[in-house]
Amino acid sequence: MEVVSQNRCFDGVQMVCTHPSQVCGVDMTFGIYLPPQAEDGPVPVLWYLSGLTCTHENAMIKGGFQQHAAEHGIAMIFPDTSPRGEGVADDDAYDLGQGAGFYVNATRAPWTAHYRMYDYVLDELRGLVLDNLPIADVHGVTGHSMGGHGALTLALRNPDRFDSLSAFAPIANPTRSDWGRKQLSAYLGDDESAWACYDASLLLEEHGWKDAILIDQGAGDQFLDLLRPEALATVLARRRQAGLVRMQPGYDHSYYFVASFAGEHVGWHAERLHRRRN
């Protein structure tokens, strides 16, 4: 792991690192914020998964998470959204290929060689940071849009690996949305039965979640029809699953929306992560 940059931030440290990924077959970049409490020993960590077209940098710069993470004594990790570089398959569309990995393990050419973001986040990057940084093995996960989809699917499928869960405007029901059907068919093929394990609404219906879930959605989001928050809310109600789906009046899909509620989400996770650690 190579540290590319390191900056003091709210008495902690914001770093950008690169490493060769065996899972994705290329060098990968990620951001990590270590709060000041990490100087005294390992701290819990909140993973933030970004949306379409983003890199590790967008939320790191625009989300305003570091101040809240410093206040609550938790680290934050900002992975990239896809493998990148020469020889990595891509597409002219913004919502497929580089910048649009959808947090799946691709099974269809030409994507199979590199597009394994599910395993990358769940296993490889997790192991790397635990081995090299003052991170406790206590994890929460959140994300925005495509990253909200990733956060929900990773946690719902792996409740033993994550202790808290939230999302900002997630793609909640991709098997029934143009933000999902296109990408899942490209990465996984036309057999829709293979898509279900990457659909948060279907996973929640089948498995539930061990704690409450926090979802914030802008009521003025220009992509609301593609996100389908009503599907997730319906499952929450039908299962009587503890959780909140909050429609925030006037907010759109931008990082202004994410930054407005970042503090509440960090606090939500910190309460659960510190409780789990203790």
Q: Looking at the 3D structure of the chain, how many domains does it have?
A: 1
- Of the listed 80, 163, 199, 221, which one is catalytic? 221
Question: What digits encode the pLDDT tens for the residues 237-265?
Answer: 999 999 999 999 999 999 999 999 999 99
**Which range marks the domain in which residue 72 is found?**
2-273
Residue 28 lies in a domain: yes
Annotation marks residue 145 as catalytic: yes
Residue 193 lies in a domain: yes
| Region 262-270 average pLDDT | 98
| Region 102-130 average pLDDT | 98
Query: Alpha-carbon distance 33 to 22, whole Å?
Result: 24
pTM score, whole prediction: 0.97
Question: What digits encode the pLDDT tens for the residues 21-57?
Answer: 999 999 999 999 999 999 999 999 999 999 999 999 9
Residue 111 lies in a domain: yes
Annotation marks residue 21 as catalytic: no
Annotation marks residue 72 as catalytic: no
How confident is the model at residue 276, as a pLDDT? 85
Residue 180 lies in a domain: yes
- Of the listed 21, 145, 166, 177, which one is catalytic? 145
Residue 142 lies in a domain: yes
Query: Alpha-carbon distance 269 to 71, whole Å?
Result: 13
Q: In this structure, what CATH number is given to the domain that contains residue 253?
A: 3.40.50.1820
Six token digits for residue 40: 């005294």
- Of the listed 72, 253, 265, 269, which one is catalytic? 253
What is the percent of the chain where pLDDT is above 70? Answer: 100
Residue 278 lies in a domain: no
Residue 92 lies in a domain: yes
